[in-house]
Structure 1
Amino acid sequence: AGADALESPASPQLVLPANLGDIEALNLGNNGLEEVPEGLGSALGSLRVLVLRRNRFARLPPAVAELGHHLTELDVSHNRLTALGAEVVSALRELRKLNLSHNQLPALPAQLGALAHLEELDVSFNRLAHLPDSLSCLSRLRTLDVDHNQLTAFPRQLLQLAALEELDVSSNRLRGLPEDISALRALKILWLSGAELGTLPAGFCELASLESLMLDNNGLQALPAQFSCLQRLKMLNLSSNLFEEFPAALLPLAGLEELYLSRNQLTSVPSLISGLGRLLTLWLDNNRIRYLPDSIVELTGLEELVLQGNQIAVLPDHFGQLSRVGLWKIKDNPLIQPPYEVCMKGIPYIAAYQKELAHSQPAVQPRLKLLLMGHKAAGKTLLRHCLTEERVEGCPGGGDKEKCYPPSPPPVSKGIEVTSWTADASRGLRFIVYDLAGDESYEVIQPFFLSPGALYVLVVNLATYEPSHFPTTVGSFLHRVGARVPHAVVCIVGTHADLCGERELEEKCLDIHRQIALQEKHDAEGLSRLAKVVDEALARDFELRSASPHAAYYGVSDKNLRRRKAHFQYLLNHRLQILSPVLPVCCRDPRHLRRLRDKLLSVAEHREIFPNLHRVLPRSWQVLEELHFQPPQAQRLWLSWWDSARLGLQAGLTEDRLQSALSYLHESGKLLYFEDSPALKEHVFHNLTRLIDILNVFFQRDPSLLLHKLLLGTSGEGKAEGESSPPMARSTPSQELLRATQLHQYVEGFLLHGLLPAHVIRLLLKPHVQAQQDLQLLLELLEKMGLCYCLNKHKGKPLNGSTAWYKFPCYVQNEVPHAEAWINGTNLAGQSFVAEQLQIEYSFPFTFPPGLFARYSVQINSHVVHRSDGKFQIFAYRGKVPVVVSYRPAKGVLQPDTLSIASHASLPNIWTAWQAITPLVEELNVLLQEWPGLHYTVHILCSKCLKRGSPNPHAFPGELLSQPRPEGVAEIICPKNGSERVNVALVYPPTPTVISPCSKKNVGEKHRNQ
């Protein structure tokens, strides 16, 4: 009935059926009523409960007065009440529950105080500046909600309500509490959130019955000493205040079960916290806590422990005693002990690490990951050779320098290459140097190698650099690293300095320095402006935001806004650490190289910049790692889990302790072990160098090189299959030509459409892949990494290497897919008169993650059928429902990149379109979690605007996707077209989508840490 009411211009008239005399409860909510049906009072002689919520009443209907002698509950919330009517209120003398929330009441009538039986009163979300004095007469009132009004002081009338047990006065500008608030001795639950309180009076501490107290979002710096008298307190929320020290008055509250101190300025936690022995929930996130007391492990009943966003480097010993903790958040701390990777896995892994450390001798591993990035021909490979190759010791700066050069010019980059470099043998400091290829074809795999705790060297060719080249040679790389690894340390190195004049060199280095500062300033100011918009939206009540379609964050919940604000704050607090100035280098000058080497060493040894370099590991874990890289297993592509278990026994690790060690080695990027993958969990990929060589094969776009590899692979093919295969007869020239032609066609198909059959992949990968099992495992691994998918693999059926075809989306060249019957590229074809279009759009103002669209197209393959791929678009079906995924690169500097997911259906069947796109939205959200420093926005495009063909459709906030549909609302207004209304089913999904699915993990997060 609610939907019909909102869609029709006239107010509906309800006609009550006869014989209602025995009805005791009547719900007329969600009907758009402005008046109650005639004869209501005479027809309902036994009515006790009347619900009129979510209608259009401007006053209490006079007919309600006829029910006054027997009505005990009345709900008129979510209406348009501006007044109640004294006569109607006076008549409701038997009322026990009255709900007037979410209206527009500026005042309450004095007659309210005459309702002697009233026990529950809710007047929240109105416009009350004061309460009537008569309210003090409600001697039986137990629950009162006055939150979200316009009170400017605590109403003294309430102090007379001796029976009051629950009171909510949150979100009023009280600015203080009366000393005699102690009169409310029966009070058990008190809400004072966002009441602008700076202190609490001593009398507050006499509220001895208090069990739950909400004091969050105030300006409190301390609690009265007598606060410890509140011995019945079980739940206390002090989040978002100004506490610099942990309030000592909390420590004697032995019955406390939930304590929230998030978003304060605490620097430590007292050891006496162990006295809170009944504590189940402890939230200390987003403070400045540097360490935890050893005694915290005595809180063995804890079920929730939230510590993220602090400065904790070391967790206390025996932390595994907190075995009941289910909700555990520790990210954004500079953890060394246990290592960050162990802590992120959870309490059981921390327990296993600490137990292992106690069993074996600890070992320090000073080894740092160094990544060389930059455009093609920037000089990365030459720089790597000059830094890492051995030189004649003691070569003087001005002496015979020939001995100091590389013995021969280094080869051209072969893709991504890894080198181990002992930078200082005396200090045992080693770098693992990753030379990331500058060619665009490698962009899809580069992000796997960008990891926290690494030193990034951005290499710029100063000889060819021009100020206009800054966005592509420097700016885009900084955006990319900042999005993938917030707060990363970046050093800018300028190569080919010898090809520049002295003044030219100085000007170019200064220009890079100046433009970096300008880019950082622009980005930070933009984020600050966006954060301010969120603050302004939070300052308005949710009801006000939901009533104005033109308001920023229209309809978005406070919870989602706070999440948004926290993300902006995170982005602002975790800017890149860019070392200045630019270091110009000539690889032919050993003085330049020595200066660069000294700079890298001094940065690497800085404990505050790279705390992980000094982390301590169990000796058995280090031995296990070393054993994996010793002959004969070092040469193999992979080991079975049992092979690793045998190595574990040699390292002193029993089978039950092996899992934690392998998990750590995986998380820290030493090897790959996917315990969550049915297809891969029985195998350990320890030879990362060979895996990188295999990846390089796929991302060289040189057709002659690919054809050469295939021709090499076909020679001696019979031997590779083993003794069971008959020896091949020598091929004739015509057969050789035919084979070469076929292979050439395969190469063409790969470079144009990303298509390769499994048997040709096997030829490409010789000699890396020998056995069929190697090939199958490798293809499973590539699929998990999001690099390819099998076109014709059916669930539950074994992979047939001779017939399976694989698609590598990053190679697809045609701009749009082949034409489909239901769509012509942008608009619905022949369907617009019946179909409504759903379109979710992701917008990326600063940077679009490289390779994201290609990897996303792999991730969604399990959800779709009958797909057709283009370079920037995918047409497919979810069951019988069409979906289209589109990527639109930015057309100019001020334009964002966008990625959209769309479907269509008739309005009655729009749930099928939601069912089609929701899993695709959630898959994209999972991938975007790999980019914690990325700023992007999500919007739901207005279906009415899309149907009109508007070039700039209105965009509803994407946060609405994670919120339930508003109760009783059938339509919402599109502000782009005046008063045009959009059905709520076209904006809100039937059930909220998952914002941050934490159960799904991507290989990208695993592979990249070293």
Structure 2
Amino acid sequence: MPIFNGCSNRKLEVNLAGRRLKLLPSDLFQKGQDVDKADLQKNRLKEVTRISCLSNLTELNLSRNELVEFPKEISELQQLVRLYMNQNNIKSIPNNIFPSLKKLQFLKMSTNKLRQLPSDMNKCENLIYLNLSNNRLRDVQPLVGLGRLNELYVENNRLIELPQALFQTQNLEKFKANSNPLRKPPETICVGGLKDIQNYFEMLEVSSFTIRTIKTMFLGSSMAGKSTVCRSLRHGCPVEVAEDDRTVGIEIQQFLNTDGVRFLFWDFAGQEEYYFTHHVFITPQAFVILAVDLSKYDAECFREKVGFWINNIQLKVPNAVVLLLGTHVDCCSDEMEVHDKKRDIEERVNQMLFERKESLEQQRKNLEELEDPSLFYEQMCVIERLEEYKLQVLDLIAIDCKKPEDINRLLHYINGVVLDTDKFPFLEQTLPQCYKDVENAIQDHLDSGNIPQHGIVTQREILAHLIISHNELDLDKLRIILQYLHRTGIIMWYWDIPDLMDMVFVKPSFLISLFKAIVRHDLVSMLKEISRRDLKRVNSLEKHRDAWIEDFTNKATLSNVAIRILVHAELKRSGVDDEELIDEIVGTKKKAGNLIRLLQHFDVCLPTKESAQLNPRAPEFCPNRKWQPSSPDVCEPKGACLFPSFLQRDNLDVMQMWGQDNLEDITVQVYFLPEIPHGFFHRLVIRICSIYFTFWIGKEQCLYTSGNRRLLVREHTGKGDQFIEIRGKHSDMSTAADILKAWDMIKVIMMRLAQLTQQWRGLCQYVHSPCKHKGCKAYFEWADWQDWIVPDACEQFNMDPEDKMTCRNGHTRRTELLFPARSYADLKN
């Protein structure tokens, strides 16, 4: 039976959501013209015949069904104001639908399979909101003319060009087009927002030019020859790199080939200590060269030398093009050895890609075969999007870096690859001429000495330099151009970080040199080399230095004083002698430096107290109130920073404070496919610590408290499935209110986890609650759990505390201990 809610003037609201319907019930049509709103989401409808009988509908929700064709009868619902058609399998929309919907204001068509739009879509003259994200659209020209459109979303399609006329309306206020192979305007313009796009087209009318730029990232294990290849390609001949001159952090170089393609070479250091900062600089729409030392390769080390990198590339940039480059062939015994290793690597990589594809297909089928797959539609859509990504791994090329002919052969091959429009549809981009002029002007000011050689300048200063030579551009347009140059890696300017918005790094390599002053593989050695003179300058002794080394080795905490010394020394080596600028970057005894703020922003480190546990007596957690630390000196310059990625100790301290696991603990397990990304757990720890005070942090698990409640977050990365476990201590939950508060804590952690996951576009997640019966391996699978963590959470988790659930082995437990119940705020009301 449908649920009818009566309203004034005989208007009815029908709720048939989640009923597993394959056909609409006949009694729905008996109410006919009295029905005002119909909620038919989360069913199995493949068609909705007779829907036109509900001629007075103002709102219709057909999301999360199995529609393949857009129902033509909807054109007869002329009173319709809001229409939800998202998360179906609709491939096309016929003409003569939207001209009839004169009152339609809201249309959600996201997550379908649309390849094109009807030519008369712009006749829907009152449309205000339109979401077409996650489709297969190549053109949005039919939207031109929607004069009242206020919000438009077209992310994750196949758009190459956006029509200028679409942005000439005064009403459009919100627009997103991320994850498209855009050439005009480039995606790096679109991510800046609507104002950037409008200014782009305005400046484009004055003059334009075509640019072909490709960011090329050199990845691979330490000493694989990345720097040698990078520098040799740039110079066009072999360039030897001494072991002492190997990359620390990241090196950036530019190179223009004979076809006019500008390569931005980013040479990433291979030591594990640097992986944690790679996420800051690895971006989509890039060409990856993965170097493998063939002389040291064998089948046993495939995972370390190749598989690890392929997995992480696939997780971070799943549409990337990867060139496998075999190096050091001169150290191999003969050509047969090189041939055999080449074949082994290619076969194993292809097997990895096949298994990934097969695993996704199987997981999707498993969800489709569940009793009510509509509850898992969001997860199935994520899998389908992942299946559409095509990581292209090219055949391995083996070279001897010492031979000019091999360098030339590699260069010729790379030139051919990047000019392939199927592989790099975004290579050729159209930009206003002033973008190039501003970039050249910045370089001219560097060359002339108007900007210091270290490249650090205030926003006010650089704008003053540029306004003189480009007085036709106002300050807003110059800022937009600077933001574009930041996104392309030409400069670094973090205008979205309040403490850093006034500092511009026109030489990104210099900023990276600051990173590597403290995020490096040989940090302990650098600490040992701190001189007595440097120690005296900060009123420290050798025993302080010894304590810093001990704290970093045992607890991964580094004194803010030590950080200032190391960064100060790096600045001096780089030729910076402006003491005021040095203090601003590294901090003083009274004020934290900008570099630490930047590292915190990118989840690299966490402020803590020096040589002491963090205060376990954190304020009571409240979901609607921002958490404030109970010890204000935590963030003071005299404190220290915890670098979770450097943790080496075991988890004994954490387990001592947590105690034994209990079957009755609230337990949530978040599974990751294909695996947990490197550094994900430690970044999650940092993000959670910004909400809760940490009790203690270990290498693979950490404990949080809120009032008298404890929460354990634990990483499982052994053989088999990889997952992150969240446990709420059963003994801390004596009342129903305690249970609800524990779920509120878990909710915030999962929200942070979901936000972090968005940075890995090739990642898939599943959430389970294990059965609480001893020895039982059964579990309860969560439905689309993202619905629970958003502010207007779905009601599917609002369980009655008296409800019980039974696992497939017949064990029964209270639902509130398996799934989130109502929020604490609702309970108090």
**Range of TM-score over shorter length:** 0.7 to 0.9
Do the aligned residues in 2 keep the contact of 1:447 with 1:850 (CA within 8 Å)?
no
Question: What is aligned with 2:413?
Answer: 599
Moved more, 660-669 or 493-502: 660-669
Question: What is aligned with 1:761?
Answer: 563
Corresponding residue SS for 2:156: coil
Question: What is aligned with 2:722?
Answer: 896
The one-character-per-residue Cα deviations of 1:416-466 (angstroms, maximum 9, x if unpaired) are 332424241x43322221222221121211232321011101111112221
Identity of aligned residues (%): 22
Residue 337 of structure 1 and its aligned partner are, at CA, apart by: 1.7
Do the aligned residues in 1 keep the contact of 2:152 with 2:175 (CA within 8 Å)?
yes
Structure 1: tracts of 5 or more residues without a match: 1-99, 103-118, 123-139, 172-190, 392-404, 542-552, 722-727, 729-737, 994-1010
| CA distance in 2 between partners of 1:765 and 1:937 (Å) | 42
Question: What is aligned with 1:665?
Answer: 485
The one-character-per-residue Cα deviations of 1:14-62 (angstroms, maximum 9, x if unpaired) are xxxxxxxxxxxxxxxxxxxxxxxxxxxxxxxxxxxxxxxxxxxxxxxxx
After superposition, residues 411-490 of structure 1 pair within 5 angstroms as 411-424=244-257, 426-490=258-322
Distance 1:599-1:311 versus aligned 2 partners, 3 A rule: same
Do the aligned residues in 2 keep the contact of 1:373 with 1:459 (CA within 8 Å)?
yes
Distance 1:873-1:207 versus aligned 2 partners, 3 A rule: closer
| CA distance in 1 between partners of 2:255 and 2:716 (Å) | 45
Structure 2: tracts of 5 or more residues without a match: 572-578, 587-592, 611-628
| CA distance in 1 between partners of 2:532 and 2:517 (Å) | 14
Residue 618 of structure 1 and its aligned partner are, at CA, apart by: 2.9
Do the aligned residues in 1 keep the contact of 2:254 with 2:263 (CA within 8 Å)?
yes
After superposition, residues 795-810 of structure 1 pair within 5 angstroms as 803-810=638-645
Question: What is aligned with 2:183?
Answer: 336
Q: Which letter does structure 2 place at the counterpart of 1:251?
A: P
Question: What is aligned with 1:534?
Answer: 367
After superposition, residues 735-746 of structure 1 pair within 5 angstroms as 739-740=541-542, 742-746=544-548
Corresponding residue SS for 2:759: coil
Q: Which letter does structure 2 place at the counterpart of 1:369?
A: K
Question: What is aligned with 1:309?
Answer: 156
Do the aligned residues in 1 keep the contact of 2:688 with 2:752 (CA within 8 Å)?
yes
Distance 1:351-1:746 versus aligned 2 partners, 3 A rule: same
Distance 1:162-1:674 versus aligned 2 partners, 3 A rule: closer
Question: What is aligned with 2:462?
Answer: 644
Residue 355 of structure 1 and its aligned partner are, at CA, apart by: 2.6
Do the aligned residues in 1 keep the contact of 2:459 with 2:503 (CA within 8 Å)?
yes
Distance 1:842-1:227 versus aligned 2 partners, 3 A rule: closer
Residue 167 of structure 1 and its aligned partner are, at CA, apart by: 9.5
Q: Which letter does structure 2 place at the counterpart of 1:620?
A: C
Question: What is aligned with 2:601?
Answer: 784
Do the aligned residues in 2 keep the contact of 1:143 with 1:164 (CA within 8 Å)?
no
Q: Name the larger-Rg structure.
A: 1
Do the aligned residues in 2 keep the contact of 1:817 with 1:874 (CA within 8 Å)?
no
Distance 1:787-1:336 versus aligned 2 partners, 3 A rule: same
Q: Does 1:690 align with 2:515?
A: no
Question: What is aligned with 1:617?
Answer: 431
Corresponding residue SS for 2:369: helix
After superposition, residues 719-734 of structure 1 pair within 5 angstroms as none
The one-character-per-residue Cα deviations of 1:465-518 (angstroms, maximum 9, x if unpaired) are 212322222122111001011211111011122324222222221111111121
The one-character-per-residue Cα deviations of 1:809-839 (angstroms, maximum 9, x if unpaired) are 2222211153676423x426xxx9xxx5233
Question: What is aligned with 1:957?
Answer: 782
Question: What is aligned with 2:584?
Answer: 773
TM-score after normalising by structure 1: 0.68
Corresponding residue SS for 1:444: helix
Q: Does 1:846 align with 2:674?
A: yes
Match of 2:336 among 503, 516, 522: 503
Distance 1:798-1:611 versus aligned 2 partners, 3 A rule: farther
Distance 1:355-1:150 versus aligned 2 partners, 3 A rule: closer
Q: Does 1:568 align with 2:383?
A: yes
Q: Which letter does structure 2 place at the counterpart of 1:808?
A: F
Moved more, 474-483 or 325-334: 325-334
Question: What is aligned with 1:14?
Answer: none
The one-character-per-residue Cα deviations of 1:284-342 (angstroms, maximum 9, x if unpaired) are 3444322222x634313123423233221111114334554566443332122222133
| CA distance in 2 between partners of 1:941 and 1:966 (Å) | 19
| CA distance in 2 between partners of 1:628 and 1:970 (Å) | 67
Do the aligned residues in 1 keep the contact of 2:743 with 2:820 (CA within 8 Å)?
no
How many residues matched? 771
Q: Which letter does structure 2 place at the counterpart of 1:920?
A: I
The one-character-per-residue Cα deviations of 1:237-290 (angstroms, maximum 9, x if unpaired) are 666355546424533544443445555554433554333211123343444322
| CA distance in 1 between partners of 2:636 and 2:734 (Å) | 45
| CA distance in 2 between partners of 1:208 and 1:689 (Å) | 64
Question: What is aligned with 1:813?
Answer: 648
| CA distance in 2 between partners of 1:780 and 1:151 (Å) | 53
Residue 636 of structure 1 and its aligned partner are, at CA, apart by: 3.8
The one-character-per-residue Cα deviations of 1:698-724 (angstroms, maximum 9, x if unpaired) are 233336741464228728x76xx9xxx
Q: Which letter does structure 1 place at the counterpart of 2:661?
A: N
Q: Which letter does structure 2 place at the counterpart of 1:856?
A: L
| CA distance in 2 between partners of 1:350 and 1:857 (Å) | 36
Q: Which letter does structure 2 place at the counterpart of 1:682?
A: D
Residue 958 of structure 1 and its aligned partner are, at CA, apart by: 6.8
Question: What is aligned with 1:181?
Answer: none
Do the aligned residues in 2 keep the contact of 1:145 with 1:167 (CA within 8 Å)?
no
Residue 627 of structure 1 and its aligned partner are, at CA, apart by: 4.3
Do the aligned residues in 2 keep the contact of 1:860 with 1:920 (CA within 8 Å)?
yes
Distance 1:229-1:572 versus aligned 2 partners, 3 A rule: closer
Residue 765 of structure 1 and its aligned partner are, at CA, apart by: 1.8
Distance 1:746-1:589 versus aligned 2 partners, 3 A rule: same
Corresponding residue SS for 2:295: coil
| CA distance in 2 between partners of 1:754 and 1:158 (Å) | 64
Question: What is aligned with 1:970?
Answer: 802
Corresponding residue SS for 2:764: coil
After superposition, residues 158-197 of structure 1 pair within 5 angstroms as 164-166=33-35, 194-197=44-47
Moved more, 862-871 or 470-479: 862-871
Q: Which letter does structure 1 place at the counterpart of 2:722?
A: P
Residue 866 of structure 1 and its aligned partner are, at CA, apart by: 5.5
Distance 1:765-1:709 versus aligned 2 partners, 3 A rule: farther
Match of 1:916 among 725, 733, 745: 745
Of structures 1 and 2, the one with the larger relative CO (CA 8 A, separation 6+) is 2
Do the aligned residues in 2 keep the contact of 1:170 with 1:195 (CA within 8 Å)?
no
Distance 1:237-1:707 versus aligned 2 partners, 3 A rule: closer
Corresponding residue SS for 2:416: helix
Residue 850 of structure 1 and its aligned partner are, at CA, apart by: 1.5
Q: Which letter does structure 2 place at the counterpart of 1:957?
A: W
Match of 2:403 among 585, 589, 592: 589
Do the aligned residues in 1 keep the contact of 2:517 with 2:570 (CA within 8 Å)?
no
Match of 1:384 among 194, 205, 230: 230
| CA distance in 2 between partners of 1:954 and 1:155 (Å) | 34
| CA distance in 1 between partners of 2:544 and 2:18 (Å) | 74
Question: What is aligned with 1:289?
Answer: 137
Match of 1:875 among 689, 703, 713: 703
Residue 371 of structure 1 and its aligned partner are, at CA, apart by: 1.1
Corresponding residue SS for 1:871: coil
| CA distance in 2 between partners of 1:416 and 1:636 (Å) | 17
Do the aligned residues in 2 keep the contact of 1:246 with 1:268 (CA within 8 Å)?
no
The one-character-per-residue Cα deviations of 1:98-135 (angstroms, maximum 9, x if unpaired) are xx559xxxxxxxxxxxxxxxx9899xxxxxxxxxxxxx
Do the aligned residues in 1 keep the contact of 2:23 with 2:47 (CA within 8 Å)?
no
Question: What is aligned with 2:665?
Answer: 837
Moved more, 502-511 or 147-156: 147-156
| CA distance in 2 between partners of 1:289 and 1:600 (Å) | 30
